[in-house]
Amino acid sequence: MEARFAIIGDIHANLEALNAVLEDARSQSVTGFYCLGDIVGYNANPQECIDVVREIGAITVCGNHDYYCSHDKSLEDFQPLAAAVIDWTRRQINPASAKWLAELPFSKIFFQHSFSIVHGTLDMPEYWGYVFDTFDAEAHFNYQQTPFCFHGHTHVPVIFEKQGFDVKRYEATPSGERVELKFGRKYFINVGSIGQPRDENPLASYLIFEPRSRMIEFRRVEYDVQTAAEKVMRAGLPQRLAQRLLVGR
């Protein structure tokens, strides 16, 4: 059977969204899972989401929230909202899970399948830079050794394409549309966020990748947003985190 991978990321402790995505991915007969990090942070089920990601055997890289929730580091560089949730999350996850998060690598390369994964950018991944535009993407491409690389961090699905010295930015294609990536170019693709989309589309976002045929397919999945939002409120987390789930911002 041809390899058909689900690339998931920015789950952010949203168990309802994660379960819906996994159900969708299984209905699409994926053969493996890769996770771009930020399993925890923002929503109410960090421990449960770590358990699920480990159960499905997803090959995982570290996100900034995973890192700070598992290291006893100052949170002064975070916005107050994010810092409050990281502080809360640290108290929700068990020591074994904290250790697992703390040991996640910043990036991984799979030469046999021509791709790599990173949370934000391969340009010093441990500094958690955001790639929004072609300028940021150019800096990243200097470090991309494989034709394809997948990332998250901005929570906005998008495609960067490098041909020669030219870098272009393309909007993510509509859910369920299969796209063939061109041979001889490099691609840096943001798969969007499962647990807290910010592209004004509240549906959970992930991507299916077939390395041999170079096909990708963005997928948006409906889930029980109401329950996820109510859990955020009940946990005593900032109300704004519940509201933004409903609007995808």
The yes or no reply on residue 199 touching Zn ion (CB under 5 A) is no
In the complex with Zn ion, the residue whose CB is nearer, 167 or 205, is: 205
CA 127 to chain centre: 16
The yes or no reply on residue 161 touching Zn ion (CB under 5 A) is no
In the complex with Zn ion, the residue whose CB is nearer, 19 or 64, is: 64
In the complex with Zn ion, the residue whose CB is nearer, 24 or 38, is: 38
| Total number of residues that touch Zn ion (CB under 5 A) | 2
Phi/psi at 167 (nearest 5 deg)? -115, 125
Q: How far is the CB of 96 from Zn ion (least distance, A)?
A: 23
Q: How far is the CB of 223 from Zn ion (least distance, A)?
A: 17
Identify the H or E element spanning 101.
helix 95-102
In the complex with Zn ion, the residue whose CB is nearer, 12 or 162, is: 12
In the three-class reduction of DSSP (H, G, I as helix; E, B as strand; rest coil), residue 79 is classed as: coil
Q: How far apart (Å, rounded) are the C-alpha atoms in residues 127 and 58?
A: 23
Q: How far is the CB of 248 from Zn ion (least distance, A)?
A: 14
Q: Residue 221 CB: number of other CB atoms within 10 A?
A: 18
CA 242 to chain centre: 19
Q: What is the CA radius of gyration of the chain?
A: 17
Map residues 23-52 to x or -, x wherever contact with Zn ion holds by CB under 5 A: ---------------x--------------
In the complex with Zn ion, the residue whose CB is nearer, 108 or 214, is: 108
Structure tokens at 125: 């991944």
Structure tokens at 107: 């990036």
Among 6, 7, 8, 10, binds Zn ion (CB under 5 A): 10
The binding site for Zn ion (CB under 5 A) comprises 10, 38
